[in-house]
């Protein structure tokens, strides 16, 4: 069956490469997909967010092809449009409601519009989803102990018949489900008090913190507000978050949060001492019950001796207890920022002793 669609090309080189565009369109046509309109955007085209928002509000199907440099930017735009956070399975980055993940892209439903997104790599074959968007959705499994990944994987694949889960952090795992009944199988198998099974951890955390009468604030450096954005991407965040701080420069860390100049000079912004003072300052300024602070080197520049790209310090203050964690994260800038987000979520869950019995 033939159908007409919108084709979008993003990237200066791609938009000038008539050979690649011709090849893409021939492959689409071979599957009965024809362009009723084509649009072209530069790598850093400021009009793309608004244009894409208008397109997805009126169209049912859009194919987007972009160059590698444009892919992280496009991910953020799509995540914003779909009101979701960006997640990583260790190999790929995509909005959390994406489905049909493949090596060079993904499919996602934004409102009533199906988006098919492909990251063009000139040294590899061009792939993109050829069928309709499937109904699979991400499900997160949170363990209350440092459960071996092998145990989770065996349970999910052999006993429940679900796809092999990906490890996000030492206690967080992600799998997909094909139908709602699979979610109930997961919840029933893993059981209350030992695991949390959820399709949207931010909705769950807002519900839990709200029930406890707790508020939270964030002091972010390397993530640039990503953690606060993930929480406010779902309804109800105002019940637990009354403010947050993006303190990117040393001067702002000092002026807003009271991080001492002596601390910054002696230990640097990416240090245990700095994130502790950031968390203290955020809690003091906001009056929140919980504060999470992060500071790190997302790259590709900024590494110093002893602190390579991917070095991140996190601090959480909750119920009078202060904990600091140093992690070394892999990936490009966007991947490191996203993985820092998940590390912060993991620390929050671990700090709430009653959360596993609540759900």
The tens digit of pLDDT for each residue in 144-184 reads 888 889 999 999 988 888 888 988 999 999 988 866 667 77
pTM summary value:
0.65
pLDDT at 264: 97
* Residue intervals in the chain for CATH 3.30.70.330: 137-199
Order across the sheet with 216-220: list the strands: 245-246, 216-220, 290-296, 311-318, 321-328
Burial class (CB in 10 A: 0-12, 13-18, 19+), 320: exposed
Mean pLDDT of 187-191: 86
- Bridge-based pairing of strands 61-67 and 113-120 is parallel
Mean pLDDT of 244-265: 97
d(CA 168, CA 227): 16
Model confidence band, residue 131 (pLDDT cutoffs 50, 70, 90)? very low
CB-CB contact of 336 with 299 (8 Å): yes
First to last CA, the chain: 46
Q: Comparing C-alpha atoms, which of 197, 167, 168, 195 is closest to residue 184?
A: 197
Q: Report, at the CATH architecture level, how domain 3-120 is classified.
A: 3-Layer(aba) Sandwich (3.40)
> Helical H runs in the chain?
12-15, 18-30, 48-58, 71-81, 149-154, 180-190, 201-212, 226-232, 250-257, 261-267, 272-286, 333-351, 355-358
Buried b or exposed e, range 160-187, using 16+ CB within 10 angstroms: bebeebbebbebbbbbbbeeeebbebbb
**What's the CATH fold of domain 202-358?**
Maf protein (3.90.950)
44-101 pLDDT, tens digit each: 899 999 999 999 888 888 999 999 888 888 988 998 887 777 777 666 677 877 767 7
Model confidence band, residue 284 (pLDDT cutoffs 50, 70, 90)? very high
Listing DSSP states for 78-126 in one string gives HHHHTT--EEE-SS-EEETT-EEEETTEEEEEETTEEEEEEEE-TTS--
* Residue intervals in the chain for CATH 3.90.950.20: 202-358
- Tell me if residue 73 falls in helix, strand or coil: helix
* Residue intervals in the chain for CATH 3.40.980.10: 3-120
Q: Which residues contact residue 20 at a Cβ distance below 8 angstroms, ignoring those fewer than 6 apart?
A: 14, 120, 122, 126
Q: How many residues does the structure list for the chain?
A: 359
Query: What CATH superfamily classification does 137-199 receive?
Result: RRM (RNA recognition motif) domain (3.30.70.330)
């Amino acid at each position: 069956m033939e159908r007409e669609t919108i084709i979008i090309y993003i990237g200066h080189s791609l938009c000038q490469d008539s050979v690649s565009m011709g090849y893409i369109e021939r492959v689409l046509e071979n599957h009965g997909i024809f362009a009723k309109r084509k649009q072209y955007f530069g790598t850093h085209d400021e009009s793309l967010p608004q244009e894409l928002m208008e397109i997805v509000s009126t169209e049912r199907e859009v194919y987007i092809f972009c160059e590698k440099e444009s892919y992280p930017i496009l991910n953020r735009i799509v995540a914003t449009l779909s009101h979701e956070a960006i997640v990583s399975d260790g190999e790929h980055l995509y909005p959390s409601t994406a489905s049909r993940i493949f090596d060079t892209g993904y499919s996602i439903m934004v409102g009533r519009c199906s988006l098919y997104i492909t990251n063009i790599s000139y040294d590899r074959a061009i792939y993109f989803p050829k069928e309709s968007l499937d109904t699979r959705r991400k499900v997160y499994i949170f363990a209350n102990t440092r459960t071996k990944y092998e145990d989770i994987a065996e349970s999910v694949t052999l006993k429940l018949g679900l796809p092999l889960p990906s490890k996000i952090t030492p206690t967080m795992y992600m799998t997909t489900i094909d139908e709602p009944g699979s979610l109930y199988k997961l919840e029933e198998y893993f059981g209350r008090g030992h695991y949390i099974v959820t399709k949207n951890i931010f909705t769950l955390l807002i519900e839990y913190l709200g029930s406890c009468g707790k508020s939270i604030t964030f002091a972010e450096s390397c993530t640039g507000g990503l953690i606060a954005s993930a929480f406010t991407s779902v309804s109800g965040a105002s019940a637990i978050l009354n403010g947050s701080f993006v303190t990117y420069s040393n001067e702002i860390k000092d002026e807003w949060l009271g991080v001492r100049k002596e601390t910054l000079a002696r230990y640097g912004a990416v240090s245990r001492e700095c994130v502790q003072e950031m968390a203290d300052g955020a809690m003091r300024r906001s009056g929140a019950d919980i504060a999470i602070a992060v500071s790190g080197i997302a790259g590709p520049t900024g590494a110093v001796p002893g602190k390579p790209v991917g070095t991140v310090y996190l601090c959480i203050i909750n119920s009078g207890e202060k904990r600091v964690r140093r992690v070394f994260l892999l990936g490009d800038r966007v991947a490191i920022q996203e993985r820092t987000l998940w590390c912060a979520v993991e620390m929050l869950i671990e700090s709430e002793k009653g959360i596993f019995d609540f759900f």
